[in-house]
Amino acid sequence: MHGGDGVSVLEQLAIVEEFAAVEPGGTLTLLATTLGLAPLLTVGSAEQKAACLPPFLPRTGTPLASFAFSEPGGSADFDAPAPAGGTRTKATRDGADWVITGTKQWISNAMGRRGDGPALLTVTAVAGPGDPGTSLAVFALPGRPQGLTCTPMARTVGMATHPLPQLDFAGVRVPAEGLLGGVGDGAATVRAAFGSGAGVGALAAPRTHQLLFCGESAHGPARMYPKTRATVTAWVSGRPVCPRRPGP
C-alpha cells in the first residue's frame, strides 16, 4: 500500500545475522530504525503513514528513525505509577498542538547520521491525568523540531558506531495530527513495538569473541552504574547481588 520491498521476517533474520557478524553496532542502528518506525506502522493512520514513510521507501539513501522511550529514571517501568521512575515526559495540549517537555536517555539513532537528527522521531509522553499506564501517548515528529536538544553521552562499550545520546524536550510543539493512536494507547503501542522486533534483534548479538571483549570492557562501567542508579526504595548498589563480582 505504501511501497517498500516487502521483505519477510525470515529474510530480515538472515540479513541481520550476517551484518551482526561483522559490525554489531551498525546492525543495531538498522534495527533501531525498524523500532522507530514500529509505532507508526502499528497504530498510525493511513494519512500519517503517507506523510512519514516516503523517506524510508526508496532503495537509495540512508534515513534513520528513532524511538525516544527510555528516561534517566526508568525504562522497563515506563508505565509504572509514582514514585517509580516511569515516564515523566509530559505532553500538554495547547490549541491545535501538543507541547512536549521532558528528558529521554539512551536513544538509538537520535543524533542522525551527521548530528542533524533522524528523519522520524517517535516519542512517548504522559498526555493526560492519571498514571502513565492509563495516559501514555506516542507522537511522531518528522525532522528536528525547535526546542529539541541532543547531547552525546558516555561511549557505548563495544558498540562505538551506535551512540546513545540524551534528548531534552523544552516545549517542543507537535501538531495534533502527530499523535499516533490515542491518549492511553501508548503502553500497548510500546509493547507491540518491542515485541515485533524481539526475534530479529536477538540475532544482532555479537559473536563469541565480541561478547568476550564487550564483557571485559564493560566490567568497570557496570560496577559504577549501580552507585548512580536509584530504584524506588534504594540505590541499586545496596542490593545484595551488586557488590559481588559475577562468577563462582
What per-residue confidence (pLDDT) applies to 141?
A: 96
Classify residue 103: in a domain, yes or no. Answer: yes
Model's pTM, two decimal places?
A: 0.78
Who's near 96: CB < 8 A, 6+ residues apart?
Answer: 175, 176
More confident residue, 164 or 65: 65
Residues 180-204, mean pLDDT to the nearest whole number:
79
Whole-number average pLDDT of the chain: 80
Is the pLDDT at 103 greater than 90? The verdict is: yes
What per-residue confidence (pLDDT) applies to 114?
A: 81
Measured distance CA(10)–CA(33) in Å, rounded: 18
Which secondary-structure segment (H or E) carries 223? helix 208-224
CATH number of the domain that residue 181 is part of: 2.40.110.10
Classify residue 238: in a domain, yes or no. Answer: no
Place of cell 545475522: 17
pLDDT 10s digits, 63-90:
999 999 998 876 667 777 665 667 889 9
Classify residue 23: in a domain, yes or no. Answer: yes
Please give the residue range of the domain that contains residue 53: 9-206
Classify residue 75: in a domain, yes or no. Answer: yes
pLDDT 10s digits, 214-232:
555 566 666 666 676 655 5
Is the pLDDT at 33 greater than 70? The verdict is: yes
Counted domains in the chain: 1
pLDDT 10s digits, 143-158:
888 999 999 876 666 6
Specify whether the CB–CB gap between 16 and 27 falls below 8 A: yes
pLDDT 10s digits, 105-130:
989 999 888 888 899 999 999 998 87
Classify residue 1: in a domain, yes or no. Answer: no
The three grid cell numbers given for residue 126, joined into one nine-digit string: 504522559
Measured distance CA(131)–CA(80) in Å, rounded: 7
3-state helix, strand, coil in the chain (%, to 5): 35, 20, 45
User: Percentage of the chain with pLDDT > 90?
Assistant: 38
